[in-house]
Structure 1
Amino acid sequence: MTPMRLTAVAALLTLGIAGCGGTTKSSVTSAPAQAPASSAAATANPDAPLKQGLKLAFLPKQINNPYMTIVATAGAEAAKEFQGEAKEVGPSDASASSQISYINTLTQQGHDAILISANDPNAVCGPLQQARTKGIKIVSYDSDAAPECRDLFINQASSEEVGRSQLKLLAEMIGNKGEIAILSATANATNQNTWIDFMKDELGKPEYKDMKLVKVAYGDDDDQKSFTETQGLLQAYPDLKGIISPTTVGVSAAARYISGSKYKGKVVLTGLGTPNQMRQFVKDETVQKFALWNPKDLGYLASYAAAALASGQISGAEGETFKAGKLGERTIGKNGEVILGPPFTFEAANIDQFDF
């Protein structure tokens, strides 16, 4: 499957990937408990044209995360298509409070929309609400903010689909038997925790009775900490058969450790990663299979959604539709969620067909 084909799949299939005074870069679920209180309570006009000159800002979990950079870069490219501009700003760490000062600064600068991958869904809520009182549209992506604090959530895939498919993928490779562990990002990351809940629920099914989850570890979306946590897991649980790391930073760090250790070929690793990060580990047989979606499409879709909000085409209400450039028409679902598409499995037979 080619990258173009993957984009087409994401566009056509809709079903219910990786975290203040930091560095800046420029231009580069389970169902929520309550519906978002849209700052665009006024009636939307689906026939309104996209405004030109819109200013968007991507606020990722952390700016030194390669996955997040791909998303923001694609978002900036999409903005150019509707004569807008987008930049990426954010902290160099993925702590719960590290995004707050950036939200405040972007609010003061008067951006039309802030697009955020929340490190903590509640920690950012107050500042985001303040931004909305100024007429700034809030779009969360990858990791949701509390739904009452944003207008839309661009979800890379159904949270249930991601969580269950990760567990199924690992189970297939270890024959549904043995001890397993999860290497997550931060303990408060909305997407990670939702996926893990679905993994645990899937694990409770009869077909996995011979599998046991022994530990959920947290690498905080930091390469070195994730590397060290992998080492710790393998030393603490000598009978470990597999690890799931649903974070691009974590899965590549875990693969790097395993590839140079005695555990290579003995412990199965899977998770969510980009092909360029994971290619060498697939080729040296450290990793058999892993999954993700196209992060370029995620950033592209988020950018068009923000533009539609800021232009008054949509308000964030369930059932509204908007056009997302090459990805076609999209429909807003329950609780302001827009789903990109299903996860895709990468392995030796197809990984060289992708470059991101």
Structure 2
Amino acid sequence: MTVRSRMPVRALATATALALGLAACGGTTKKSSEDSGGAAPAGATAKADPNAPLKKGLKLAFLPKQVNNPYEKIVDDAGIAAAGEFSGSAKEVGPSDASASSQVSYINTLIQQQHDAILIAANDENAVCGPLKQAMAKKIKIVAYDSDTAKDCRNLFINQASSEEIGRSQIKMVSEQLGGKGDIAILSATANATNQNTWIKFMQDELKKPEYSGLKLVKVAYGDDDDQKSFQQTQGLLQAYPNLKGIIAPTTVGIAAAARYISGSKYKGKVAVTGLGTPDQMRKFVKDGTVKQFALWNPKDLGYLASYAAAALSSGQITGAQGQTFKAGKLGDRTIGADGEVILGPPTVFDAKNIDEFHF
């Protein structure tokens, strides 16, 4: 999940910079000696023309983890609207489930339809690699957003915020709410989701610090970004771990389901719920006291930035090489970091004091 920095609110105090470290699909393309180490994004060795105009009539396609995910819908709708600003067109296609291989057939269809760019939030970083490489061989640009593919399977990754910042901040939030003591659980999306697993890795690392010695992670559960399954997983966690004091759900579907269960149960006020959610879906749970604090970036900005990045790639302004810059409409100039990553900005913390300022 991605959350953006143009909002006039307080951002997480622990903002740090980090590029996702994900395993590659086995490609052999390397950065030149002038780059700062690591594998170069696919196609980054081509020559860029930063002064080239954006092409007219570009065809973009957004392929989310699943089309019935409210968060992904916000992202994609904003990206589709952004395409109109540069006289392009965009659409959203995708599966209704978030399984590892569910996106493959859609990629194959988009290749046949000869889109200029495919923008994908990957359910599995490796399962989509084969068809994405086929698309790239046909000069179709690939932009990952929200959840990355393996690095050699795309040109750019639009990351909502620093992955380290997101992961570590989740532990800090739950620790503050529990006074630094208690059993906690993580309610994730799917077991193969690149972004979720990266955030969880940093959560686990953060828990090793002495200041969190009073916290104990008892379980990582998976709700598969399905509302009912996430609801049932919350119930199961509370039954299996009677001393559970906190649940971290770094997924908009999971945090809403967990809050809904706890708000109507005996655990309300006794078990803290935090994670990543949208203000509109979490407002009632903040106002009724079920949730004290959670975080997110602006998903509209994530889709907007991804759309402009795809246009810049397709127009030859950039190739995905580190240090290149491009203009992203109202979001201003953006610079490509290591491994073809562009970071939107730090997430925002929402609570009872500021949640009514936001509507998405």
TM-score (norm 1): 0.93
**Which residue, 290, 297, 301 being the options, matches 1:293?**
297
Matching of residue 215 in structure 1 with residue 219 in structure 2: yes
* Equivalent residues in 2 for 1:7-18, closer than 5 Å: 15-16=16-17
Q: Which amino acid aligns with 2:126?
A: N
* 2:195 counterpart residue number: 191
Q: What are the Cα deviations for residues 66-88 of structure 1, in whole angstroms up to 9, with x where unaligned? A: 00000000001110000001100
Query: How many pairs does the alignment contain?
Result: 340
Could you tell me which residue of structure 2 aligns to residue 6 of structure 1? 7
Distance 1:7 1:125, change over 3 A: farther
Q: Hey, what does 2:341 align to over in structure 1?
A: 337
Indicate which of 28, 31, 36 corresponds to 2:21. 31
| DSSP 3-state at the match of 1:139 | strand
**Structure 1 pair 89–53 and aligned structure 2 pair: CA distance change class (3 A):** same
For 1:176, the aligned partner's letter is G
1:249 match: secondary structure:
helix
Alignment map for 1:261-300 (pairs within 5 Å): 261-300=265-304
In structure 2, what is the equivalent of residue 256 of structure 1? 260
Alpha-carbon distance between aligned partners in 2 of 1:301 and 1:249, rounded to the nearest angstrom: 23
Provide the rounded CA distance (Å) in 1 between the counterparts of 2:77 and 2:5: 18
Segments of structure 1 that go 5 or more residues without pairing to the other structure are 17-28
Tell whether the 8 Å contact from 1:39 to 1:133 is kept in structure 2 after alignment.
Answer: no
Give 1:71's aligned residue: 75
| Structure 1 letter corresponding to 2:211 | E
* CA displacement 1:183-206 (0-9 Å, x = unmatched): 000000000000000000000000
Q: Supply the RMSD in Å over aligned alpha carbons.
A: 1.7
Which segment drifts farther, 113-122 or 40-49?
A: 40-49
Q: Which residue of 1 aligns with 2:249?
A: 245
Flag structure 2 segments of 5+ consecutive residues without an equivalent: 24-37
Asked if structure 2 preserves the Cα contact closer than 8 Å seen for 1:7 and 1:297, the reply is: no
Q: Distance in 2 between matches of 1:110 and 1:39?
A: 18
Matched, 1:80 2:84: yes
How far is the alpha carbon of 1:40 from its aligned partner? 5.3
Where 2:295 maps in the other structure, the secondary structure is: strand
Q: CA deviation at 1:275?
A: 0.4
TM-score w.r.t. the length of structure 2 is: 0.92
Counterpart in the other structure of 1:177 = 181
CA contact (8 A) 2:183 2:215 kept: yes
Contact 1:55 1:85 in 2 (8 A): yes
Partner of 1:144: 148
Alignment map for 1:101-112 (pairs within 5 Å) = 101-112=105-116
Question: Residue 9 of structure 1: CA displacement?
Answer: 8.5
3-state secondary structure, aligned to 1:6: coil
Contact 1:301 1:340 in 2 (8 A): yes
Instruction: From 197, 210, 213, give the equivalent of 1:206.
Output: 210
Establish whether residue 328 from structure 1 lines up as the match of residue 332 from structure 2. Answer: yes
Which deviations, in whole Å up to 9, do the C-alpha atoms of 1:224-283 show, x marking residues without a partner?
A: 000000000011000001000000000001111001010000000000000001001001
Check conservation: 1:96, 1:119, Cα contact below 8 A.
yes
Question: One-letter code of the match for 1:265?
Answer: G
Q: What is the CA deviation profile of residues 279-318 of structure 1, one whole-angstrom value per residue up to 9, with x for unaligned ones?
A: 0100111100000000000000000000000000000000
**Letter paired with 1:242:** G
C-alpha distance in structure 1 between counterparts of 2:115 and 2:9, whole Å: 31
